[in-house]
Amino acid sequence: MTTRDTVLAAAQRLLATDPTASMAQIATAAGVGRATVHRHFASREDLLHEIGRRSLDRWAESMAEAGLAEAVASADPERIRACLDDVIGRFVVDADEHGIALTDPTVVNAPALRERADELFTQEITLYAAAQAAGLLRSDVPARWLGHTVYGLLVAIRDALLAGDIAPRDAQALVRSTFLEGGAVR
């Protein structure tokens, strides 16, 4: 792992628990000097922008690795359901790893990152719309609402993990069941 990657990983971990952490605190968490951090990132905003960019890259990779476009194009309910399960599982892992990019104003309001996030969200929505058409998800709500629901669950799971309210091994199943089955008594 490069020094840059070490700094980014430490920043992601630290900022998930302390969103106001300074560059000096990030340097300490990474085990490097503050000058080293500034050699790679001129400002805190530059660091957050890179975390956001990498998070968006991972979002795109997760959808591609799950075969989202192919599942949507197939219109096959079994393939779509398998893709839903896969995508949600990947998103949960990513939320734990890149939680700061879900909520930090510097990241979510940067124009270039916002534009790319909107494009990826539109791609993701095609899966929920296909699942609605296949009878897998309720069709009485907009597909975009389903996307916002998944986002909310990812923020919730990140917060629950940080608070120690749930075990990491249960995170994927909790998000899947809550999204796909709701909170009703089983």
Domain 1-42 has CATH 1.10.20: no
Q: CATH for 44-181? A: 1.10.357
pLDDT value, residue 103:
79
Same fold, 1-42 and 44-181: no
Nearest to 13 by CA among 181, 162, 148, 169: 162
The answer to whether residues 53 and 138 touch, using CB atoms and an 8 Å cutoff, is: no
Residue recorded with tokens 């530059």:
46
pLDDT value, residue 184:
64
- Tokens, residue 89: 């599982």
Whether this model's pTM surpasses 0.85? yes
Residue recorded with tokens 């340097």:
27
- Scanning 134-183, the segments in alpha helix (DSSP H) are 143-163, 171-181
Which residues in the chain land under pLDDT 50?
Answer: none
pLDDT value, residue 104:
82
Tally of CB atoms within 10 A around 159: 14
Q: Where are the domains of the chain?
A: 1-42, 44-181
